[in-house]
Each structure stands twice: as C-alpha cells, then as structure tokens.
Amino acid sequence: MRVLTVDDSRTILAMLHHTLSSAGFEVLQADDGQKGLDVLAKERVDVVITDINMPVMDGIEFIKHVRATGAYNSLPILILTTETSQDKRDQGRAAGGTGWIVKPFDPEKLISVIHRVVH
C-alpha cells in the first residue's frame, strides 16, 4: 500500500516515513500541495496524508484540486492537524478530506486511523 505524505515540516515527514514504512507502507513525500499534485500526476497511491498549513499550496487547496480530478474521487485523504478548533477540520472536510489525524500522533493510532479509511 502506498501513502503520499504532504507536509512542509521535515520532522513530520521523517516521522511519518518511519512509522509508515516500518508498518509496511510504501511512502511517497511532498513538501507542499503543489508538489503533492505533481506526485499524484505520476504515481498511483492508496491514501494521502496531508498537512493544512503549507506554503505554495496549502492542504485545503490541495484536497480541492485532488477531488476535482476524476481519477481521485475515491482516494482517501487524511488531514494532519494540530488544530484545536473544529473549524479547520470542517474546512478540510468541506474540501473533500476523508478524515483527520491529530498531531502529535501515536504510531499505532496513525496506522489504525489509516485503516479507518483504506482497505
């Protein structure tokens, strides 16, 4: 199973990579939404994990773009969020996000949340 992780924080990307790859996922990375789209244009992925606050193209825009692409109608997208407000999540979901993961994440929980949205 391939996971695309999109985050402008190298720390978060590295931790996601470690957690996911040691759980047997294949991990692709992008450090902003635009690069995330570039990856999706070339690669098949099973699930996307994206941050919201990013330069160039933020997570909300990224999700909107993904959903606007026919091929990705049913691609599960998890929003990584440290936001304590419901607002951000609602915004993410309104854009087409499938679910969310709260930072900082516990490795086991991360995996279980992924399994909540992919087979």
Partner 1 sequence: MSDLDDFKATYFDECSELLLELEEQFAAIEGGDRSNDRLNAVFRAIHSIKGGGGAFGFSDLVAFAHAYETLLDKVRGGEIPLTDDVAALCIHSNDVVADLVNAARTGVPLPPEYGADEKARFDALCSGDDDGGEPIEEFDIDFVPVMVNFDDVSEADEESADEEMVEAEADSDAGSDEPAVDRSGQWEVRFRPHSELYARANDPLLLFRELASLGQMTVTAVFDEVPPLSDFEPFGVYCEWQMTLVSPTLTEAAIREVFEFVDGNCDLEVVDLGSIGKRPPSRPAAKAAATEAADDGEPLPSFADLADTVKASTPPKQAFIPIRAEPMTVKPAVVGDAAAAAPAASEGEHRNGVQSIRVDLDKVDRVVNMVGELVITQSMLTQQMDDNLRARYQELVRGLEVLAQTTRGLQDSVMAIRAQPVKSVFSRMPRLVRELAQKTNKKIRLETIGENTEIDKTVIEQLSDPLTHMIRNSADHGIETPEKRAAAGKSETGVIRLSAEQAGGNILIIVEDDGAGINRDKVLQVARNRGVIGPDQQLTDEQIDQLIFAPGFSTADAVSDISGRGVGMDVVLSNIKKIGGSVHVRSWTGRGTRMTLRLPLTLAVLDVMLVRVSHNPYVIPLSSIVETMQTARAAFERVPSGGRVLQVRGEYVQVIDLCERFEMPSSVDEKNRFVVLCEAEGSVKIALVVDDIIGQQQVVIKSLEENFESIEGIAGGTILGDGNVALIVDVQGLKTGTLHRNAA
CA distance 49 to 20: 11
Q: CB 66 → partner 1: shortest distance, Å?
A: 9
Give CA torsion, residues 84, 11, 20, 28, to 10 deg: 110
Residue 71 interacting with partner 1 (CB under 8 A):
no
Q: CB 21 → partner 1: shortest distance, Å?
A: 5
What are residue 42's phi and psi, to 5 degrees?
Answer: -105, -30
Binding mask 78-97 for partner 1 (x = CB under 8 A): ---xxxxx-------x--xx
Sole binder of partner 1 in the list 33, 49, 53, 69 (CB under 8 A)? 53
